[in-house]
Amino acid sequence: MSTIGIFYGTCSGVTGKAAEQLAKLLGEDNCDLYNMEEDFTDFDDMLKYDYLIFGCSTWGSGEVQNDWRDPMLDLENEKPDFTGKTIALFGAGDYKAHGEQFVSALGILYDKFKARGATLVGSIPTEGYTYEYSFAERDGMFVGLPFDKVNEAGKTKTRLANWVEVLKEHFPVEE
């Protein structure tokens, strides 16, 4: 088992591809990848790790990607204890077609896992992003890393690389 668990939900593969790139940047030996659709059974899968990265795109109007929906309900019911766990969030959105709820799913995950005792890290300034509203924006920062393959595909690689430098302050990454 590696030290970091990366759990991602993705409908058209955008957040999934970013998860793979993230694992490469952090070192594949340091990361275990879980697709929420196929690999996630229950919260014990996550609680094996002290360091977690959750990927979730936004669908509906500001809702979590499909494979995160049941786990979010289970989180409320089962109340697993994430005290002592360090969690960072990332996910895809579309600021032109859905700028009224840009990457809002990240805000939902942020609130839910914070309420379960986790320490959330990896927030970044909102500068350089365009949108009307985002539930993932708190005090002028995004609670995790947003990216937009539909309108800004060319920026994702740099955004991921810059974010990984932020994560390295909080995650044990063996070079």
E strand or H helix that includes residue 156:
helix 156-167
For 99, phi and psi rounded to 5 degrees? Answer: -65, -10
Q: Are 2 and 42 in contact (CB under 8 A)?
A: no
Interface mask toward ligand FMN for 25-64; x: CB under 6 A: --------------------------------xxxxxx--
Q: Which of residues 86-145 bind ligand FMN (CB under 6 A)?
A: 92-94, 98, 101-104
Closer to ligand FMN by Cβ: residue 86 or 134: 134
Nearest to 136 by CA among 127, 119, 123, 148: 123
Interatomic CA distance for residues 169 and 26, integer angstroms: 12
Q: Does 11 bind ligand FMN (CB under 6 A)?
A: yes
Closer to ligand FMN by Cβ: residue 129 or 171: 129
Q: Are 66 and 60 in contact (CB under 8 A)?
A: no
Q: Does 156 bind ligand FMN (CB under 6 A)?
A: no
Q: Does 14 bind ligand FMN (CB under 6 A)?
A: yes
Candidates 25, 118, 123, 149: give the one binding ligand FMN (CB under 6 A). Answer: 149
Nearest to 48 by CA among 6, 9, 20: 6
Interface positions with ligand FMN (CB under 6 A): 10-15, 57-62, 65, 92-94, 98, 101-104, 149-150
